[in-house]
């Protein structure tokens, strides 16, 4: 009996491989997982957008849960997510910090003037120095950073209400719960 | 006619360009060789089927600049690859590193080959012990 069914072994192996490869067909290869999740935000020291003399560093993220949004005025995905960023800025108490990435200062200032400014502060990374240190490979990208300056999540591509509700809100809630627990 | 001929002649004369950026060549031939080798092996994450050596994407140019800077500052191949993997993950290297989660990728073929070979040996031995059927055609 067992001997007769032996021919099923290669068939089962083949079926297993088909299942794995079939799944792979529907994965998006452009979504590369970030090696920074649960690691400290990489250090940087950059001038800010509105004031060239002022500097912004990763220490800015300390003490609150915040977003770090990589954007540029040449980036169409950033235009699509801009309303969502404004909504987050107006309806939640999660501060948004910006990394103005590979952009021209004048174009970036014009962008914020025309569309509204959801950012607390923007760091200017014209030459993609900090971008490389943060593993950025395209705009927009949004990092969720907790009160200890640890990166908890990274979203690649425009933010949408769906992604905000599914990926960001639960993580913000649990990070806040931990923060409250540690504080009491 | 002459024009077409001249054009095709010119086309034939245009040699394939080897580097995206002609200023990409490093002065020191040893360093240059290292630079060319590493950039050939690093995946351009914006255009994933190209290496950063042959991609015109701005990100690829930035990474070439960083790699060039590191080589000129005396970093070796391991240090540069560590730098990239730390930031962009293992996916950035075309030849992935040996890690616990990709053991199947590295050892799978060897395991399959061994299993196949053992199965073959067992099968052949068993057949050898079967009585020879004299009447077989």
The model's pLDDT over A97-112, given as tens digits with 9 standing for 90+, comes to: 999 999 999 999 999 9
Contact across the interface for B89 and A138, Cβ inside 8 Å: no
Element (H, E) at A93: none
pLDDT at residue B15 tops 70: no
Contacting residues of B for A154, CB less than 8 Å apart: none
Which domain CATH number covers B44? 1.10.8.640
Contacting residues of A for B66, CB less than 8 Å apart: 132
B89 touches chain A (CB under 8 A): yes
DSSP-derived pairing of the beta strands A66-71 and A96-101: parallel
Backbone conformation region of residue A90, classed left if phi is above 0, alpha if psi is from -120 to 50, else beta: alpha
Task: Assess if residue B136 is contained within a domain.
Answer: no
Contact across the interface for A132 and B89, Cβ inside 8 Å: no
User: Quick one: pLDDT at residue A56?
Assistant: 96
Task: Assess if residue B133 is contained within a domain.
Answer: no
Residues B90 and B106 in one domain: no
Residues B90 and B109 in one domain: no
User: Quick one: pLDDT at residue B58?
Assistant: 87
Residues B28 and B88 in one domain: yes
Residues B70 and B85 in one domain: yes
Domain residues for the domain of B58 are 18-94
Residue B39's closest CA among B28, B27, B24, B29? B24
In this structure, what token pair is assigned to residue B128?
């050898």
**CA of B48 vs chain A CAs: smallest distance (Å):** 8
Residue A123's closest CA among A99, A95, A149, A143? A99
Task: Assess if residue B3 is contained within a domain.
Answer: no
- Residue A65 near residue A173 (C-beta atoms within 8 A): no
DSSP tag of A73:
T
Task: Assess if residue B88 is contained within a domain.
Answer: yes
Contact across the interface for A29 and B46, Cβ inside 8 Å: no
pLDDT > 70 in chain B, percent: 85
Q: In A115-147, which positions are buried (b, 16+ CB within 10 angstroms) versus exposed (e)?
A: eebbbeebbbbbebebbbbbbbbbbbbbbbbbb
Task: Assess if residue B12 is contained within a domain.
Answer: no
Q: CB count, 10 Å around CB of A32?
A: 19
Residues B45 and B103 in one domain: no
Residue A136's closest CA among A52, A39, A71? A71
Residues B106 and B87 in one domain: no
- Which CATH superfamily, name and number, covers A34-183? Glutaredoxin (3.40.30.10)
B86 touches chain A (CB under 8 A): yes
Residues B23 and B87 in one domain: yes
Cα–Cα distance measured from residue A139 to residue A162, given in angstroms and rounded to the nearest whole number: 19
CB pairs under 8 A between A and B: 36
The pLDDT mean for chain B works out to: 83
Once rounded to an integer, what is the mean pLDDT over residues A65-92?
96
Residues B30 and B63 in one domain: yes
Residues B119 and B79 in one domain: no
Taking only the tens place, the pLDDT of each residue in A17-66 is: 999 899 888 877 767 777 889 999 999 999 999 999 999 999 999 999 99
B87 touches chain A (CB under 8 A): yes
Residues B54 and B67 in one domain: yes
Partner-chain residue, chosen from A33, A135, A138, that has the shortest CB–CB distance to B87: A135
Contact across the interface for A30 and B59, Cβ inside 8 Å: no
User: Quick one: pLDDT at residue A83?
Assistant: 96
Task: Give the count of domains, chain B.
Answer: 2
Residues B89 and B54 in one domain: yes
Residues B66 and B47 in one domain: yes
Cross-strand pairs, A142? A69, A155
In this structure, what token pair is assigned to residue A11?
């068939």
The pLDDT-based confidence of B100 (bands split at 50, 70, 90) is confident
């Amino acid at each position: 009996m067992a001997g007769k069914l032996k021919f099923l072994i290669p068939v089962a192996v083949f079926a297993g491989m088909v299942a794995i490869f079939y799944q792979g067909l529907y994965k998006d290869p452009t979504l590369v997982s970030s090696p920074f999740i649960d690691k400290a935000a990489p250090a940087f020291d950059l001038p800010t957008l509105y004031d060239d003399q002022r500097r912004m560093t990763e220490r800015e993220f300390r003490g609150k849960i915040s977003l770090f949004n990589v954007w540029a005025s040449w980036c169409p995905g950033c235009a699509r997510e801009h309303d969502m960023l404004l909504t987050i800025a107006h309806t939640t108490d999660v501060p948004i910090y910006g990394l103005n990435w590979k952009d021209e200062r004048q174009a970036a200032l014009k962008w914020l003037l025309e569309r509204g400014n959801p950012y607390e502060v923007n760091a200017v990374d014209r030459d993609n120095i900090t971008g490389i240190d943060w593993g950025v490979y395209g705009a927009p990208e949004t990092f969720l950073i907790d009160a200890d300056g640890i990166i908890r999540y990274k979203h690649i591509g425009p933010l949408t209400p769906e992604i905000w509700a599914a990926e960001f809100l639960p993580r913000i809630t649990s990070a806040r719960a931990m923060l409250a627990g540690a504080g009491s | 006619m002459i024009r077409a001929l001249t054009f095709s002649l010119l086309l034939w004369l245009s040699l394939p360009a080897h580097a995206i950026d002609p200023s990409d060549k490093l002065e020191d031939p040893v360093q240059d060789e290292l630079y060319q080798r590493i950039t050939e092996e690093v995946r351009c994450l914006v255009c994933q089927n190209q290496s950063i050596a042959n991609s015109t994407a701005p990100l690829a140019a930035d990474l070439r600049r960083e790699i060039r800077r590191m080589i000129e500052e005396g970093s070796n191949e391991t240090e540069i690859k560590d730098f990239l993997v730390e930031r962009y993950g293992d996916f950035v290297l075309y030849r992935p590193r040996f890690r616990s989660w990709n053991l199947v990728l590295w050892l799978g073929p060897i395991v399959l080959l061994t299993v196949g070979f053992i199965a073959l040996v067992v099968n052949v031995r068993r057949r050898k012990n079967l009585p020879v059927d004299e009447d077989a055609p």
